[in-house]
Amino acid sequence: MARRTELTRTIRIGSSALRPFREQRLDLFDDFGALGLRARGEAECAFNFFDGQRIYRGPAIIPAERVRLNGECCSTGALFSRIAGAGASSSSGGQVTAVELPTTLARRGAPVRLEGLSKVFADAVAVADLSLEVGAGEFLTLLGPSGSGKSTTLLMIAGFLVPTRGEIFIDGVPVARKPPHERDIGVVFQSYALFPHLTVYENVAFPLRMRNLPASRIVERVDYALDLMRLEGLGLRYPHQLSGGQQQRVALARAIVFEPPLLLMDEPLGALDRKLREAMQLELKRLQRTLALTVIYVTHDQEEALTMSDRIAVMNRGRIEQVASPEELYEHPRTPFVADFLGESNSLCGKVVRAESSRLVVRTSAGMEVVTGEGVELAAGREVRLAIRPEQVGFLGSEERSDNVAEGVVEEVVYLGEAVRYLVRLTPGELLCVKRQNQRGSVNPQVGQPVRLGWSADAVILHTVER
């Protein structure tokens, strides 16, 4: 029979400045790795338990793999002991994800499809024949240099710009010619655009008043959105009485309060300092997972894109160069542009000279021979570009071997805190950047010091050059 431990604890579910904690006596039991929650003595249970995928209305037994602690997976045992150890009511400290959700919040993110989307301004093609699919509940980032068409794409999805050509499907419905308010999309732009004469509470309530929701539902939803964005207690302040990060969270609360199936964000964290930006990145990810929102996010900060995205679309001159997971993009950039834009890379031009046991040997324009990874067949004489990530190049001892070895002299040392970056002038004349984790006790080469560098053939990313 099932191992069954029963415990009775009061869990506080939901809180806000305007509505006190609702305390709920719950029976918790551990049932073969499933966590059970049962409201005490009530015919109909008044709580919801959200595990990031679906809402359970008690009495409920939640499969072990669905239980979340602080948004992360955890064993039911860990959650159980956290609740048991916490004692009555102290689980309100945000440890356990037992959040009360408005009962209507059963909606999931909507899939989005862009088909041959173009935007031509009088003198510029801003977006050129762009096609892209974003899955339901996916976090997709448009990443690219200034002027590559990111904002224009987002504005077309939001409905603030009409495409010159192409169609936009949200949840399978074509919307390219619909006005913004008929698209039901949450939008956050870099400038928070809060209403300065309205309190935080009224700012967040605004989209609901526009939708003519009954007053009781508005209170419920605004409370929920303020809770979610950790803005409890700030409802009565005006925007100018808030910090930048708080204002940004109000903008987010306003964008999600009407439960949009799609959230668009254009550099929402650009104005914040680094620490706050990183905290907000985590907050945003939590929000997106909790609500299972589809998010299309714009940034030109590659670190931000790598941290947050399920997939990244790298844009260049109004087109998408590559769409892939962060790892795939970084490890296997399909074009030199992507290799250069995402992360650092040493870029070398050269020609194939010969094949050596299924590997190619390339001679760079400065005359250095580089052995590349397996699996590419190219004729001798073919022009190529090579990309080598600085962290893939290491300093070698005098006897150490590697697929590629080159000697040179350190020309520059830049201390980055967690790493040190070196510029090494190689004997054949190439300048190679080397990045090394900063570890206590390791001896760092100095400027002017002769060094041997080595990198594996597999670390060499090869692109052919089309003539």
Ligand X SMILES: Nc1ncnc2c1ncn2[C@@H]1O[C@H](COP(=O)(O)OP(=O)(O)OP(=O)(O)O)[C@@H](O)[C@H]1O
DSSP per position, 214-230: -HHHHHHHHHHHHHHTT
> Which residue of 151, 246, 302, 309 would you call a contact of ligand X, by CB under 6 A?
151
Q: Which does 216 bind (CB under 5 to 8 A by kind): ligand X, Mg ion, none?
A: none
What angle do the packed helices 200-210 and 215-228 form, to 10 degrees? Answer: 130
For 254, residues 6+ apart whose C-beta sits below 8 A from its C-beta are 194, 203, 204, 206, 207, 225
**162 part of the interface to ligand X, by CB under 6 A:** no
Q: Which does 124 bind (CB under 5 to 8 A by kind): ligand X, Mg ion, none?
A: ligand X
**73 part of the interface to ligand X, by CB under 6 A:** no
User: Smallest distance, Å, CB 35 to ligand X?
Assistant: 45
**149 part of the interface to ligand X, by CB under 6 A:** yes
**Residues touching ligand X, count (CB under 6 A):** 12
Binding segment (CB under 6 A) for ligand X, from list 66-74, 121-129, 250-258, 324-332: 121-129
C-beta closer to ligand X: residue 311 or 385: 311
| Among 145, 157, 134, 156, residue whose Cα is nearest residue 314 | 145
Taking the C-alpha atoms of residue 83 and residue 35, their distance in angstroms, rounded to an integer, is 11
Looking at beta carbons, which residue is closest to Mg ion? 151
For 166, residues 6+ apart whose C-beta sits below 8 A from its C-beta are 114, 115, 116, 117, 118, 129, 130, 176
Taking the C-alpha atoms of residue 299 and residue 265, their distance in angstroms, rounded to an integer, is 9
**144 part of the interface to ligand X, by CB under 6 A:** yes
Residue 81, both tokens:
């002991």
Taking the C-alpha atoms of residue 284 and residue 279, their distance in angstroms, rounded to an integer, is 9
| Cβ atoms 286, 249 nearer than 8 A | no
Q: Which does 148 bind (CB under 5 to 8 A by kind): ligand X, Mg ion, none?
A: ligand X
**152 part of the interface to ligand X, by CB under 6 A:** yes
| Cβ atoms 461, 333 nearer than 8 A | yes
| Cβ atoms 313, 140 nearer than 8 A | yes
- Which residues face 25 on adjacent strands? 10
**389 part of the interface to ligand X, by CB under 6 A:** no
**126 part of the interface to ligand X, by CB under 6 A:** yes
Binding to ligand X (CB under 6 A) within 297-336 occurs at 300
User: Smallest distance, Å, CB 4 to Mg ion?
Assistant: 56
C-beta closer to ligand X: residue 48 or 153: 153
**148 part of the interface to Mg ion, by CB under 5 A:** no
Q: Show the site string, 150-169: x = touches Mg ion by CB under 5 A, - = not.
A: -x------------------
C-beta closer to Mg ion: residue 151 or 246: 151
| Cβ atoms 154, 296 nearer than 8 A | yes
User: Smallest distance, Å, CB 176 to ligand X?
Assistant: 17
**124 part of the interface to ligand X, by CB under 6 A:** yes
> Which residue of 4, 6, 116, 121 would you call a contact of ligand X, by CB under 6 A?
121
User: Do you find a cis peptide bond into 450, omega within 30 degrees of 0?
Assistant: no
| Residues making contact with Mg ion (CB under 5 A) | 151
| Residues making contact with ligand X (CB under 6 A) | 121, 124, 126, 144, 146-152, 300
